[in-house]
Amino acid sequence: MITISTDKSAYPVNVMGATKFIAEKITLNANYSCVRFGNVANSRGSVIPVFIDSLLNNMPINISDPNVTRFGIPDAVKLVIKATRYEKGEIYLF
């Protein structure tokens, strides 16, 4: 079993982060693994649909940090599959 988590669980400041943090603790305590993601391009909550909407409506595109790294969904899937082969009871991330 692999729990899919988020970077928000590292230092939770809201309910979503706190529930992911708890889920990670339960998973690790059962000696299963977690995969923690942040900035997956075109996933739910991704900025890409916002950029497309801005472009289609001739609005400016706001970039909060040009040095941010984003990963693609295929990369995320590969990491989850790899995590099934790694040592259990760990958190894996890019």
pTM recorded for the entire structure = 0.66
Q: Please give the residue range of the domain that contains residue 16.
A: 2-92
Told to judge if 8 belongs to the known catalytic residues of this protein, a careful annotator would answer yes
Across the chain, mean pLDDT equals 85
pLDDT at 62: 79
Count: domains in the chain: 1
Provide long-range contacts, Cβ within 8 A and 24+ apart, for 76-84.
Answer: 76/35, 76/37, 76/40, 76/43, 79/35, 80/2, 80/4, 80/35, 83/2, 83/33, 83/35, 84/2, 84/33
Query: What residue ranges of the chain have pLDDT lower than 70?
Result: 39-46, 69
